[in-house]
A and B are shown apart, each in its own frame.
Chain A
């Protein structure tokens, strides 16, 4: 059994990565200076506390799919900023700018999602949420 499965559900287990980090600063988990852009299909939106998570399936040249787990601001901050969980339909092809994960490149902190050329879920540094 790999260590990650063993750690599932155990909050104090450091290897369980950002899913159980609850509310650490971005700089603890992501490269806050860099921006990486991924393109894939929106698989899931988890409108949960303390952070909303977006899952995006990215297909490589060989057709292998990697699911990226992308963290965003709190549901309260997103709601206040006018965003709603169904702003982008599941299954949509999306392009996402992220702060890449420091330890796991398939994680990231979302900067902005683009769908059909329009921007969604963009939060500026001067608006609540991105620095959570």
Chain B
């Protein structure tokens, strides 16, 4: 009888445990909202001599900044679109993806957190924003980006190669700030990966991202033309 009671108690306890709510996984950090980076560039943000390869250094020194691809409205790339202008960006986040919508140039990127992998041929078909996959490690979103079109630049002077890979770590440091630690690995331009920690701040309440046109400027050509009469 006693053993039956013990068994019954054990079975009841087991049954209750089975029905109990499972302990929740760590809540996904919430990056939703409108955010702003300070305007900066790679050399300034890195803050010390860049570990260029001889080829990278030669290219950087000889760079013609008037050839900057954003000057002909080519997309700035996943980091520069946020850090290379004073325009804010919006993050929309679900469990399966995080979208960054940049006011600058009106471009966007998707970071897929649904477990998918980059297409095997992504390097043959590179994307302006690359292809980004991410996962959460506690309070940090860890992202790998490959296949970034080498026609865009990392900032107003710095090119990159098709071998560029980014590792990004997004982590909120408080409700209104997150650190965006970007490691750039490009063996054609840099002897070793370079890591920059960008501080991103939440825009003020009521802010929205506005529409943008990169090419609307051509309408003003007449004002400059008229000076040459």
Contact = CB atoms under 8 A, between A and B. Distances in A.
B103 A8 contact: no
B193 to A, nearest CB: 26
Contacts of A80: 207
Given A23-B85, A128-B39, A69 B217 contact: no
B227 A69 contact: yes
Contacts of A77: 86-87
Nearest to A16: B221
Interface in A85-132: 104, 106-107, 128-129, 131-132
Q: What secondary structure prevails in chain B residues at the interface with A?
A: helix
Given A4-B225, A19-B223, A131-B86, A28 B65 contact: yes
A125 B66 CA distance: 22
Q: In the complex, which range does the number of interface residues on chain A fall in?
A: 35 or more
Contact of A22 (B87, B214, B219, B226): B214
B220 A24 contact: no
Given A25-B65, A74-B87, A53 B221 contact: no
Contacts of A131: 39, 86
Contact of B212 (A19, A49, A129): A49
Interface of B: 39, 65-66, 68, 70-73, 85-87, 103, 156, 207, 210-228
Given A19-B224, A22-B217, A129-B86, 18 more contacts: A2-B228, A11-B215, A11-B218, A12-B72, A19-B218, A19-B221, A21-B71, A22-B71, A22-B72, A28-B66, A28-B68, A49-B216, A50-B214, A80-B207, A107-B224, A128-B86, A128-B87, A131-B86
